[in-house]
């Protein structure tokens, strides 16, 4: 997508960073942003009412994503992180048009695809939601940078509901992971991209399945690093904010979101119901 040179001189480092996802998955990205950028205020929107996005139509995903992006703009955010692979794969272009160059937009697919493309990877596997796999965006993005990499994508739709229901380290999840990762499509991979921000919540179980045979990519770290580079480029890093503020908006408040957000951000956080 060709874009004109951006000018963000109207933005201030003191403005918060906006992050959104369909549910708890984007918290893996938010947690890494908090770790790398400890002085930044964060506003998170979890669209728990409409999850999982992976089972929704492209039109619905575009509608949800653009509404949330506009809400984050109204909250005076200086950047928007689409912390959802399905929203990135199906609505990135529309979010960029909706935001209209007012703030930088960072997605979770292109930074990962670019990094993988320039490292030593021959056979790459991607597990993701149906909507992300159907878009083919990982394969297109990786092969745009390196046409010699073989990319195999597998839809793994049961993982997001299992995570949202709190089945981490549970026999149900172990069984689902085993059935998916033993699929013939992933037989010869050397590297696995977790193409959904929910999946890092299961990274230990996924690594346990593979042992040391397959490298599992830490996408949240790559995305948070990319965000840091973008904010630094436009002089938008907040370097003096010893008590950052974290705000969480949910379209439906769930116990699992409450549990994971408190684990990542501390016990004093507030969750606010916001239906757009």
User: Does the annotation flag 86 for ligand binding?
Assistant: yes
**Catalytic site residue 84?**
yes
Pick the catalytic residue: 37, 68, 96, 196?
A: 196
268 assigned to a ligand binding site: no
Would you say 191 is a known binding-site residue? no
Q: Going by DSSP bridges, is the β-strand pair 79-82/105-106 parallel, antiparallel, or unpaired? A: parallel
Distance of alpha carbon 139 from alpha carbon 133, whole angstroms: 9
**Residue 235: burial class (beta carbons within 10 Å; 0-12, 13-18, 19+):** exposed
Q: Which of 84, 92, 112, 116 is catalytic?
A: 84
Would you say 23 is a known binding-site residue?
no
- CA distances (Å), origin 14, targets 65, 217, 240: 25, 31, 9
234 is in an annotated binding site: no
Give the C-alpha separation, 152 to 272, whole Å: 39
Q: Is 77 a catalytic residue?
A: no
Annotated ligand binding at 98? The verdict is no
Q: How many residues does the chain have?
A: 276
Residue whose C-alpha is closest to residue 209's, from 156, 260, 164, 259: 156
- Confirm if 90 and 52 have CB atoms less than 8 A apart: no
Binding-site positions for substrate read 21-22, 53-54, 85-86, 197-198
Per the annotation, where are the binding residues?
A: 21-22, 53-54, 85-86, 197-198
> Which residues form the catalytic set?
84, 196
């Amino acid at each position: 997508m060709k874009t004109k040179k951006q000018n963000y001189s109207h933005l201030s480092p003191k403005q918060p960073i906006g992050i959104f996802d369909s549910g708890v998955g984007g918290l893996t990205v938010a947690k890494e942003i908090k770790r790398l950028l400890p002085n930044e205020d964060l506003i998170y929107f979890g669209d728990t009412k409409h999850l999982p996005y992976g089972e929704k139509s492209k039109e619905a995903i575009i509608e949800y994503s653009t509404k949330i992006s506009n809400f984050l703009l109204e909250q005076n955010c200086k950047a928007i992180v689409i912390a959802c692979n399905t929203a990135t794969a199906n609505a990135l272009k529309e979010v960029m048009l909706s935001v209209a160059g007012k703030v930088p937009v960072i997605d979770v697919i292109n930074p990962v695809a670019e990094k993988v493309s320039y490292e030593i990877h021959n056979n790459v596997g991607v597990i993701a939601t149906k909507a992300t796999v159907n878009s083919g965006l990982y394969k297109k993005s990786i092969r745009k940078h390196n046409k010699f990499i073989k990319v195999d994508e597998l839809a793994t739709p049961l993982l997001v509901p299992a995570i949202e229901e709190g089945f981490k380290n549970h026999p149900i999840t172990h069984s689902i992971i085993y059935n998916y990762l033993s699929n013939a499509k992933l037989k010869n991979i050397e590297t696995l991209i977790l193409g959904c921000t929910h999946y890092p919540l299961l990274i230990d179980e996924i690594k346990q399945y593979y042992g040391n045979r397959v490298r599992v990519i830490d996408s949240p770290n790559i995305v948070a690093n990319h965000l840091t580079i973008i904010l630094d480029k436009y002089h938008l890093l907040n370097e003096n904010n010893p008590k950052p503020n974290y705000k969480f908006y949910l379209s439906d408040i769930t116990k699992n979101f409450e549990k994971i957000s408190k684990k990542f951000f501390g016990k004093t956080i507030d969750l606010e119901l916001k239906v757009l």
